[in-house]
Amino acid sequence: MKEVYTLDDLASRSSLDEASGHLARLAVLGYPVAHSLSPQLHQDALDQAESGARYIRLEVPPGRVAEALDRLADLDFVGANVTVPHKFEALSAADEVDEGSAMLGAANTILFDGDRKLAFNTDGPGFVRAIHEEFLVDVKDLRIMVVGAGGGAGRAIAAQCVREGCEKLILVNRTVDKADSLATELRPYLESERLEGPGERIKSFSLDSPEILAESDQIDLIVNTTSVGLQRSDPSPLPSSCLQPHHLVYDTIYNPAQTRLLQEATRIGARSANGCSLLLHQGALAFELWFPGNQPLSIMRRSLTRALELK
């Protein structure tokens, strides 16, 4: 069994399942994909459900996602997860997209229905569950600042906050044009729900704008969706003066477990959590799409804890 499979391995069942008792029937597609914890997250739950299925990593170069998904459907796969940078390509390759993935503009889960590819996005709903689990609050009741609202993860989380009808959304990004255009795109959804002055509930700022300091007074939840923090030597993506004890601080990064942002949040007495819960809940929701009626959360929680300890 390989740690990472390629498109060439999809030529036939025999090359894919060589030396394995279980058929590969689920995959995570990415580029690169060797770092993905999805096989560890899903395999124990698949075994517990007696699915007889194996979960593999599949490296797919950009531009070849549709072809890869067609091959998986031909090989009778149940479904797939899709990670960076393929979430947009997966959405366009799908025959049907659910409302969430359409609004988030990206798909992270595919379910095969014969040769049809159905696309979903469990990142958004997974985020809502993660915030509830970590802080016992609902996204819809919060004033939220999304830092990194120019990347794929920031976009998905911001769009989900809007779907939930959150109280207020502040989009912050190093390249402010991207946050501005996301705000323009999302504003009609949020503003149409309540009568307030235009632009009041969604605003966008550059990371170095002095205005984010004043805005942070009126914020409950700060979410980091930038890649700043993935390296242990990385600084916090947000000036520490923006953090206050009343904030809930969520970092979508889970490895390292304590980014500089989370350390600073703890230091000033704010409650904080890392992205482990998001990884867990998006995975459990995908599993439930593939195997309806299953409740994989507790076994996945154990598998993830073990996988992270081994890292």
Binding letters toward ligand ATR, positions 252-291, x by CB under 6 A: ----------------------------------------
3-state secondary structure of 155: helix
In this structure, the dihedral spanned by the alpha carbons of residues 210, 211, 216 and 218, taken in order and rounded to 10 degrees, is 160
Buried b (16+ CB within 10 A) or exposed e, 219-253: bbbbbbbbebbeeeebebbbeeebbeeebbbbbbb
Whether 87 is catalytic is: yes
174 binds ligand ATR (CB under 6 A): yes
Instruction: Considering only CA atoms, give the Rg of the chain.
Output: 20
143 is an interface residue for ligand ATR by CB under 6 A:
no
- Least separation in angstroms between CB 90 and ligand ATR: 14
Site string for ligand ATR, 93-132 (x = CB under 6 A): ----------------------------------------
Contact mark string toward ligand ATR, 176..205, x via CB under 6 A: --x---------------------------
Minimum CB separation from ligand ATR for residue 109, in Å? Answer: 17
Residue from 12, 15, 20, 175 in contact with ligand ATR (CB under 6 A): 175
Smallest distance, Å, CB 176 to ligand ATR? 8
Asked whether position 227 contacts ligand ATR by CB under 6 A, the answer is yes
Amino acid at 16: L
Residue 215's Cβ-count burial label (10 Å; 0-12, 13-18, 19+) is middle
Tokens for 265, please give them. 């949040």
Instruction: Please pick, among 2, 87, 140, 178, the residue that the annotation labels catalytic.
Output: 87
Helix (H, G, I), strand (E, B) or coil at 74: helix
Residues 68 to 87 in contact with ligand ATR, rule: CB under 6 A: 84-85
CA distance 32 to 83: 9
**Helix, strand, coil tally for the chain in percent (to 5):** 45, 20, 35
Contact footprint for ligand ATR (CB under 6 A): 84-85, 148, 150-154, 173-175, 178, 207, 226-228, 237
- Catalytic positions are 87
